[in-house]
Amino acid sequence: MAIAKQLQPKTALLFNKADQFELRLCQALNRLGFHRSVRLFFKAISRAGDGVFWYSLGLMMPLVYGLEGLAALGHMTVLGLLCIAIYSQLKNRLVRQRPFISFEAICAHTAPLDLYSFPSGHTMNAVNFAVMCCWFFPEMSWLVVPFAALVAVSRVILGMHYPTDVLVGALLGLVLSFGSFALWPAGMFSFIFQ
């Protein structure tokens, strides 16, 4: 059995206030999951957002775009690993309980990957990958932007995250992806096709 980590009192108070403030919105979105078709749709979106969608898309890039696709995939892989490292550290340090753990009124419509919710790793990765796809291949925007938005919404509907978890995850994904392009506008592996 896992031992619950303790937060600093100020952090615990901040999360407690945020949890109470967001509870109504969480409940409203979470209730949508009681409709079988909605629940199954968002479970599938969330599952695809675990990596299946992004891995499949990434593996197709070199096939469709050649060396340019390979360079983009390299950039996306490095940033994806950085995302995982950052949100894992934040979750383990900030230890905000998932909504369905903190409130009986919130139902878990899927199994959690871990105990903690802040920030949303699914959303952080989805936004990070969507921005990178749009940067390298703008013609993919019609696919990746709506998918990233659906992943973010799915996490609240399924009872896994509060809206602020998703918002902060999205902001971190934006900062990472745009930060990487500030350093390497053509991509960190652009030398491959020069």
The predicted-structure confidence for 128-141, as pLDDT tens digits, reads as follows 999 999 999 999 99
pLDDT at 176: 96
Residue 3 has pLDDT above 50, yes or no: no
The pLDDT tens digits of the residues spanning 14-37 come to: 666 666 777 888 888 899 989 999
Residues 122 and 49 sit within 8 Å (Cβ to Cβ): yes
pLDDT at 8: 62
Confidence of residue 187 (pLDDT cuts 50, 70, 90): confident
Residue 193 has pLDDT above 90, yes or no: no
pTM: 0.86
pLDDT at 77: 94
Which segment of 48-52, 91-95, 123-127 scores lowest on mean pLDDT?
91-95
Higher pLDDT, 67 or 6: 67
